[in-house]
Homo-oligomer: A and B are copies of this chain.
Amino acid sequence: MNKSRLEAFSDGVLAIIITIMVLELRVPEGHQLSDLLADWPKFLAYVISFIYIGIYWNNHHHLLATVKRINGSVMWANLFLLFWLSLLPWLTAWVGESHFAAVPMSVYAFDLLLCGAAFSLLEQAIIRADRRNSLLAEAVEGSTREKLSLAGYVTALIAPLLGVLGVYLSGLLIVAIALMWVVPDRRIERVLARANAQTNE
């Protein structure tokens, strides 16, 4: 099975997800700056989701750089990830329109949690698909960043239901986790570099 069509399909889906979100930014009713600024929650939600999709595209890119062989499980694990990412435009619009109400925030964090879990499943499926390629297994083993993110998402999903302060905490956590992932997985880069060095010796 050919990894290039998997990459092309995933790039296509991620490009569409990141772009159609703008269709949920309705045109302001009036023609004043205040009409534009009144929509700031939708705009802020758009920015956060744009950054998340960018991060997933970047890490997906890194992850597949280590892959030589794929199989049906990898294909379905990849679709499972794309499914949860595909819900982001819809939930972004809900969060924005509700001006960051508790339940939409919680559901948004729940979707991010499932995206994160699906990414871990995809890593596992890739490792199982090609046991001879131990690079990725070595690189992702015991990732602190992944564990921190999952714990952060769970907190961000529960907190909004506990009161107004919880909504702020949830927003802060979602932004903090994004910042944590802006730099892609250096472990993968290190392991790839070491493998190259060994080949050249």
CB within 8 Å of B: which of A35-57? Answer: 36, 47, 50, 54, 57
Q: Given A12-B11, A33-B103, are A27 and B76 neighbors across the interface (CB < 8 Å)?
A: no
Per assembly, the copies of the chain total 4
Q: Given A32-B103, A50-B83, are A9 and B19 neighbors across the interface (CB < 8 Å)?
A: no
Contact A19 B86 (CB under 8 A): yes
Contact A18 B13 (CB under 8 A): yes
Contact A27 B83 (CB under 8 A): no
Residues of B within 8 A of A19 (CB): 13, 16-17, 20, 86
> Which of B9, B18, B36, B183 is close to A15, meaning CB atoms less than 8 Å apart?
B9
A115 within 8 A of B: no
A9, A32, A76: most-surrounded residue (chain B CB, <10 A): A9
- Pick 24 A–B contacts, CB within 8 A, sort by A: A1-B65, A5-B7, A5-B11, A9-B11, A12-B12, A13-B19, A16-B19, A16-B20, A17-B19, A19-B86, A20-B20, A22-B89, A23-B23, A23-B89, A25-B87, A27-B90, A27-B94, A31-B102, A36-B103, A36-B107, A47-B83, A50-B79, A50-B83, A54-B79
